Amino acid sequence: MRELIAAAVVGDDVYEDDPTVKALENEVGSLLNMESALYFPTGTMSNLAAVFSWCDRRGAEMIVGNRSHLFMDEQGGAAQYRGVSAMPQTFGNGT
């Protein structure tokens, strides 16, 4: 596995020129019947991107379960990075 990693063709994904990441995004996109997918290296990044896609301005509010992972475990990243407040609700299903 280390030999494969060392031999992989890489680039800078910030400039969208990493062929390995692009191949992964295209492969996952085809599996999901989509044009492409977006690779996030961490769950926290993907959670923040999801919040920011809905809460598109500072001062926005998101409704979350009072025991949800986003509310309990994400360390307030939405508030720190975008100024999004969480409004916890009790839904009765543990979220």
Q: H/E element holding 87?
A: strand 85-89
Residues near 16 by beta carbon (within 8 Å), at least 6 away in sequence:
22
pLDDT band at 94 (very low <50, low <70, confident <90, very high): low
Give the mean pLDDT of the chain: 89
CA 2 → CA 5, 20, 44, 81, distances in Å? 5, 15, 26, 35
Note the pLDDT tens digit of each residue in 54-81: 999 999 999 999 988 899 998 889 999 9
Write down the pTM of the prediction. 0.66
Predicted confidence at residue 10, as pLDDT, reads 84
What is the mean pLDDT of the segment spanning 38-53? 91
Predicted confidence at residue 31, as pLDDT, reads 94
